[in-house]
Amino acid sequence: MRANKRLLLSAGHGGVDFYQGIVPVLVPFLVSERHYGYLGVSGFVLAASLLSSVVQPLCGVLTDRWAMPWLVPAGTLAAGCGVAVIGLTTSYPLTLAAIALTGFGVAAYHPEAARLARGVTGGDHVGMSWFSLGGNVGFALAPVVATPVLAVGGLSAAPFLLAPAVLGVLVTVPLLGRRAGVTAGTRTGGRDDWPAFRVLTAVVVLRSIAYIGLSSFLGLFVQQRVQPGDAAGGVALFVLFAGGAVGTVLGGRLARRWGRIRTMRRAYGVAVPALAGVALVPGPALYGFVAVAAIALYVPFSLHITLGQDYLPNRVGTAGGVTLGLAVSVGGVLAPALGAMADATSLRTVLATLCVLPALALLLTRRLREPAPLGP
């Protein structure tokens, strides 16, 4: 029975994170159909990332004070409706507002969903890794599902992309009664360890920049280094997403054996040479380093969530908002800076520089200790 609930929870997470990955899919269609310039479409990406990074921690603070389980289905629907509205308007301000609504919905979903996930999984590392995996799969499916729909019907077909949100709501609503026992406005008796949580937040930010930087430029880099054409870049991104899925599930299992902190340290230690290999190793062997880098960067993903909740036992919503929100949004906010570096130097230089980030994360984890688990 618990396994079925985990599957529903994972599917619901995929339904909302589908809209995390859809903005890059929309960009080429917005350029070709509505003739927006690069500056205009970069505003869409930046708006979604900035809104998400600000709203998720704020929603986490609010859910720590008041019970808001309705944010899980409401956030999912808002994310889908924002994309649907894009197909119903040709106005740039309204399109920007629609994408902002999608970002707001995604942001509102995650803090309360992280609390719900602890209730469903009992705080189990493997269970939380499956919750995280659902989001990764939804993100990866966005181009697979949305591109054919928009290629056939254009942006006017965007309302059809509301379907994943509807499905996400249907599978999540039956779980809302399983909200974690650490409810809003109550105290567990445990002490919030803010210094450790701040260190963990810095680790999350470094990991986010490394992964988003890699995913943003990998396709173009592979076309330069391995084989010209979209196929080589597409294969590299598939390897990256598949490796991320493997790493997410593997992280929970390794944490059972080694503990979360030791698992994080080893993962970030592996990520350093893997990212260096992506930048420096020539030929098809590059794909192997991409797979290892993706696995290493995603092994800690679900562990960040449970660690944050255990460091802040009286602020579970805040912890979820930061560890889930910053994990996705901060890298997107800083992506333009990495692009400027690539213009000034080269893609190879940017990717080689990324290996510094997990090295810094590894050093910071030396300041972390395994907290007492919060439990369900």
Q: What share of the chain has pLDDT > 70, as a percent?
A: 90
Any idea which residue has 């908002």 for tokens? Answer: 321
Task: Report whether 89 contacts 83 (CB < 8 A).
Answer: no
Residue positions counted in the chain: 376
Using alpha carbons, select from 82, 324, 293, 85 the residue that is nearest to residue 201. 324
The confidence band for 373, taking pLDDT boundaries of 50, 70 and 90, is: low
Residues 240-251 have a mean pLDDT of: 88
Query: Has residue 85 got a pLDDT over 90?
Result: yes
Using alpha carbons, select from 187, 178, 129 the residue that is nearest to residue 315. 187
Q: Chain-wide mean pLDDT for the chain?
A: 83
Q: What fold does the segment set 194-365 form as a domain?
A: Growth Hormone; Chain: A; (1.20.1250)
The confidence band for 289, taking pLDDT boundaries of 50, 70 and 90, is: very high
Residues 296-323 have a mean pLDDT of: 88
Residue 169's pLDDT is what?
A: 92
- Cβ-proximal residues to 325 (8 Å cutoff; 6+ apart), any chain: 52, 53, 55, 56, 57, 60, 107, 110, 111
- Most confident of the ranges 150-154, 181-185, 202-206, 331-335: 202-206
For 164, half-sphere exposure in the C-beta direction (CA atoms, 13 angstrom radius) is: 31
Task: Report whether 11 contacts 166 (CB < 8 A).
Answer: no
Query: Has residue 118 got a pLDDT over 60?
Result: yes
Cite the residue boundaries of each domain of the chain with CATH code 1.20.1250.20.
2-178, 194-365
Residue with more model confidence, 327 or 77: 77
What region, left, alpha or beta, does residue 312 occupy, with left being phi > 0 and alpha being psi -120 to 50 degrees?
Answer: beta
pLDDT in tens, 38-80: 667 767 777 777 777 777 778 877 877 877 888 889 999 999 9
The confidence band for 158, taking pLDDT boundaries of 50, 70 and 90, is: very high
How many CB atoms sit inside 10 A of residue 359's CB? Answer: 18
Task: Report whether 32 contacts 150 (CB < 8 A).
Answer: no
Query: Has residue 186 got a pLDDT over 50?
Result: no
Residue with more model confidence, 124 or 275: 275
Residue 184's pLDDT is what?
A: 45
Query: Has residue 226 got a pLDDT over 80?
Result: no
CATH architecture of the domain 2-178 equals Up-down Bundle (1.20)
Whole-angstrom distance, CA of residue 144 vs CA of residue 130: 21
